[in-house]
Amino acid sequence: MTETSLSAPTLRVDGVCKTFSGHKAVDDVSFSLNAGERVAMLGHNGAGKTTLFKIVLGFLKRDHGDVAVMGAAPGSHDARVGTAYLPESVAFPASLTGKEVLTFYARLKGESPARALPLLERVGLAEAAKRRVGTYSKGMRQRLGLAQALVGRPRLILLDEPTTGLDPISRQTVYELIGEIAGQGTTVLLSSHALTELEARTDRILILSKGRLVADDVLSRLRAQAGLPIRLKVWTRPEDLAHVSESLGGGQMNGRSVEFNCNADDKVKALSAISALGNLVEDVDVHAPSLDDVYRYFSSTAGKEA
């Protein structure tokens, strides 16, 4: 492997546009992913995530722009050898066993089944390997799909909503696996709706809105960029409500509590003001903007601009 291919991005998407009968599904999207990155692509239903995936895989032709998968054209043999894909919903042949399904995909990818089968153990399906896929739960089928994507150590893995419909423990397994394979230098691009679970598990976040890429950064910087306020809720006795509200510089009163916003920079100042109130305060809730809020901010600003 040459020096350039190591430093070159695993996936480069440059100004890609795709229009379906007058509707712009993907509009001038550019980004690039490097080796070992875990990147989450967020977007509402119909934002263009799956369309973009299909363009990267070469199933759909782009109208404009350029895509390079490890330097090769999307859908070319070289690109497919290094890429793995897990579609949003897959129904494997119900009459085959998990082991047979994995063997099938290993053979297609030119990997020896003997080397691929330990993957079943890694996704926690070792015991179910000889059972028919028809008897699998949704989580087990999704994990089988993930095992399929890991066959042959691809350099780029595209996962379309890999955790939809999974229980919290299965989700955790999925993210642990993603972390593990990214640690080996594989680039993982996943799309998701479940935003909060992504917070600690991705390196970078792309937000698509109406086919346009409206954000591309690490979460902490996106949060700062959005400048979303921290929401503080101070619980007190009803008779002290007015006094507390006044000394905290106003705020919305709801019976037993006062709510107000403050900037991230003023958080400590606000908290010390609250503690200065002493025993007037019964409790304090601090609500930092979650990924959901950040996501809503970016997709709604994009909506206003459009």
Distances (CA, A) of 68 to 12, 58, 226, 278: 5, 11, 31, 61
Q: Does 121 bind other proteins (CB under 8 A)?
A: no
Q: Does 168 bind other proteins (CB under 8 A)?
A: no
The angle at the Cα of 156, spanning 151 to 160, to the nearest 5 degrees, equals 85
What is the rounded CA–CA span in Å between residue 276 and residue 151?
59
> In this structure, are residues 119 and 157 in contact, taking their beta carbons and an 8 Å threshold?
no
Q: Does 91 bind other proteins (CB under 8 A)?
A: yes
Q: How far is the CB of 133 from other proteins (least distance, A)?
A: 11
Q: Does 107 bind other proteins (CB under 8 A)?
A: yes
Q: Work out which of 81, 195, 273, 280 binds other proteins, going by CB under 8 A.
A: 81
Q: How far is the CB of 164 from other proteins (least distance, A)?
A: 13
Q: Does 92 bind other proteins (CB under 8 A)?
A: yes
> In this structure, are residues 264 and 232 in contact, taking their beta carbons and an 8 Å threshold?
no
Q: How far is the CB of 91 from other proteins (least distance, A)?
A: 4
Q: How far is the CB of 154 from other proteins (least distance, A)?
A: 10
Sketch the per residue contact string, 221 through 260, with other proteins: x for CB under 8 A, - otherwise.
Answer: ----------------------------------------
- The residue to which tokens 């037993």 are assigned: 256
* Beta pairing, strands 281-287 & 230-236: antiparallel
What is the rounded CA–CA span in Å between residue 30 and residue 65?
9
Q: Which helix (H) or strand (E) holds 217?
A: strand 212-217
Q: Does 95 bind other proteins (CB under 8 A)?
A: yes
Q: Work out which of 43, 98, 145, 251 binds other proteins, going by CB under 8 A.
A: 145
Closer to other proteins by CB, 117 or 234: give it. Answer: 117
Q: Does 136 bind other proteins (CB under 8 A)?
A: no
Q: What sign does the dihedral 234-238-242-244 (CA atoms) show?
A: negative
Distances (CA, A) of 191 to 41, 43, 74, 160, 170: 5, 8, 19, 5, 17
Q: 3-state class of 150 per DSSP? A: helix
> In this structure, are residues 163 and 194 in contact, taking their beta carbons and an 8 Å threshold?
yes
Q: Work out which of 148, 173, 202, 245 binds other proteins, going by CB under 8 A.
A: 148
Closer to other proteins by CB, 186 or 299: give it. Answer: 186
Q: Work out which of 15, 46, 93, 249 binds other proteins, going by CB under 8 A.
A: 93
- Chain residues in the site for other proteins (CB under 8 A): 54, 57, 59-60, 77, 80-81, 83-93, 95-96, 100, 104-105, 107-110, 145, 148
